[in-house]
Amino acid sequence: MSLSISIRKNLGSFVLDVSWEINNELAVLFGHSGAGKSLTLQMIAGLIEPDQGVISLDGLLFFDSASGKGLRPQDRMLGYVFQDLALFPHMTVHQNILYGGHGISKTESLVRTDEMIRRFRIADLRDRLPAQISGGQKQRVALARALLRRPRALLLDEPFSALDNPVRREMRKLLREVRNEFNIPIVLITHDVSEAYAVADRIIVYSGGRIVQTGSPFEVLHRPVSYEVEALISRN
């Protein structure tokens, strides 16, 4: 499975122009706020349309400006975890995960929800509301919901940024487990260089709407290709 993008978006004072491709690996989009990382995820998911370019997953076109072909967001079969997690405060843990099953039969959704609750080790939380569980537990719920439909790829927009360091380390371990078990392309946004180094198979460094380096964590952190990349890393 490979996720490939070559996209351009002009927002007036800011232009995003990036191209990259990943396989069944965990890629980290790394860089300062405003570099275009979240915008990239939103265009992959179909929430924002590029001005031009191509987005495809294993040969399936999500978007192609030349032919006008594309898929609606709900047809792209992607898991997406937002920075604020977007859990419904009035729903229990079980109900929040079950909500991710749109497009699947009710019976299958219930079976998969129980399966996710077991996989993410949150059985004792199933009847609690989000306000009654910890930050790390909320992360597990959000990941379980995003993976319920067995998506083709998983997009994560800084989901761990509000957590303290011990819980972040726990979530990094969980994310590596997800990568190994589900074997799909995963794209994670983070500003934390230690987090990028800990979880990434590949780091894609963004700056000002463009890519300034791509490589393994070792290559990017120990062999920066420019002073700009070195500065980005040293400030984190």
Return the higher-pLDDT residue of 161 and 214: 214
For the whole model, what pTM was predicted? 0.93
Task: Judge whether residue 236 has pLDDT over 70.
Answer: no
Region 82-86: mean pLDDT is 86
Q: What is the pLDDT of residue 84?
A: 83
Q: pLDDT digits over 3-16, tens only?
A: 999 999 999 999 99
Residue 1: band (very low, low, confident or very high) from pLDDT cuts 50, 70, 90: confident
**Residues ≥6 apart with Cβ < 8 Å to 39:** 9, 16, 48
Whether the per-residue pLDDT at 87 is higher than 70: the answer is: yes
DSSP per residue over the chain, as a string? --EEEEEEEE-SS-EEEEEEEE-SSEEEEE--TTSSHHHHHHHHHTSS--SEEEEEETTEEEEETTTTEE--GGGS-EEEE-TTTT--TTS-HHHHHHGGGTTS-HHHHHHHHHHHHHHTT-GGGTT--GGGS-HHHHHHHHHHHHHTT--SEEEEESTTTTS-HHHHHHHHHHHHHHHHHH-S-EEEEES-HHHHHHH-SEEEEEETTEEEEEE-HHHHHHS-SSHHHHHHHHT-
Whole-number pLDDT of residue 192: 87
Mean pLDDT over all residues of the chain? 93
Return the structure tokens found at 100.
Answer: 């991710």
Residue 117, phi then psi, degrees to nearest 5: -60, -40
Q: How confident is the model at residue 93 (pLDDT cuts 50, 70, 90)?
A: very high
Per-residue pLDDT at 235: 66
pLDDT digits (tens, 9 = 90+) for 164-213: 888 888 888 889 999 999 999 999 999 889 899 999 999 999 999 999 99
The arithmetic mean of pLDDT across residues 27-44, rounded, is 96
* Confidence (pLDDT) at 95: 96
Residue 217, φ and ψ in degrees, nearest 5: -55, -40
Token reading at 183? 């074997």
How many other C-beta atoms can be found within 10 angstroms of the C-beta atom of residue 42? 17
Amino acid letter, residue 13: S
- Residues 6 or more apart whose CB falls under 8 angstroms from that of 12 comprise none
- pLDDT cut 90: percent of the chain above it: 78
Give Cα 173 to chain centroid, integer Å: 16
